[in-house]
Amino acid sequence: MRNLPALFIVLILLVWSGYGIGIEWSLFKDLGNSVRFVSEHWFPPDLSNSGAAWRAMIDTLQMALFSTLAALVIAFPLSFLAARNWSPGLWLYNGSRAVFNFIRSIPEIVLALIFIPTLGLGPLPAVMALIIHNIGVFGKMISEMIEAMDDGPLEAVKAVGGSRLHVAVYGILPQMLPLIFSQYFYRLEVAIRTCLVLGIVGAGGLGQMLYNDFKQFMYQKVTYEVLLIMVLVTAVDYTGAFIRKRVK
């Protein structure tokens, strides 16, 4: 029963946080309100704006793709500096790690709001926010992947007199590639959802369309937009699975 104290702590945290958010079971007696709201107002989906909605979906996908790919390209070389088993110097290691942690700690919505005065409304502030945030995320993820690599191939490349670059390209990269793909697709999915939320601050795409329609009580349009989001996320998920299967 060594786990008993841990279980106890989890219980205390659950009660403490639940109390804090004012959870009250009796409120859920009126769950019927939500069911009625959806069933009476959200169906059938309104397809009248279908063309615009599809274009908005593509916009959202492009925003998420561009920002995650750009972030990956920037973070990838930097994350080698932030990996203890590759970094050429302690100050580079600590410095790059600190930068990753700092930029990851800034919420994306704050970054987007900061960029609006410069870039105006539209996708760009959201894209910048996503790039910056994802550099931090990829940097941390990839550098920790590098640190978790099997030492063997690294040792082998060093032992034949290979350079640090050889170690990275032949010792580390091939081991890491499948992991990078699977993490990338996960981050792409997260970025799509963030893009939707950033629609609230005028980032365009499906998120903004959904938010606007919701504010104008056009719930049947919202239904169609939600369906498109599901299509998009599912498509990304299947593409990711397909590529993961290929890269082994």
Q: Does 63 contact another protein by CB under 8 A?
A: no
Whether 123 contacts 59, CB under 8 Å: yes
Binding mask 99-138 for another protein (x = CB under 8 A): ----------------------------------------
Tokens linked to 200: 């609230």
CB of 155 to another protein, least distance (A): 6
* 174 contacts another protein (rule: CB under 8 A): yes
Which listed residue (42, 66, 76, 170) binds another protein by CB under 8 A? 170
| DSSP per position, 190-204 | HHHHHHHHHGGGT--
| DSSP code string of 45-72 | ---TTHHHHHHHHHHHHHHHHHHHHHHH
Interface segment toward another protein; rule CB under 8 A; list 109-117, 139-147, 169-177, 237-245: 169-177
- In the complex with another protein, which residue's Cβ is closer, 156 or 231? 156
CA dist 31 and 48 (Å) reads 31
Residue 243 exposed, middle or buried by CB count within 10 Å (0-12, 13-18, 19+)? middle
User: Is position 15 an interface residue for another protein (rule: CB under 8 A)?
Assistant: no
Q: Which of 23, 58, 148, 165 contacts another protein by CB under 8 A?
A: 165
Nearest-10 crossing angle of helices 123-147, 50-81: 40
For another protein, the binding residues in 140-159 under the rule CB under 8 A are 150, 152-153, 155-159
Assign 102 to helix, strand or coil. helix
Cα(160)–Cα(158) distance, integer angstroms = 6
Q: Which CB, 144 or 150, lies closer to another protein?
A: 150
Q: Contact residues for another protein (CB under 8 A)?
A: 150, 152-153, 155-163, 165-166, 169-171, 174-175, 177, 248
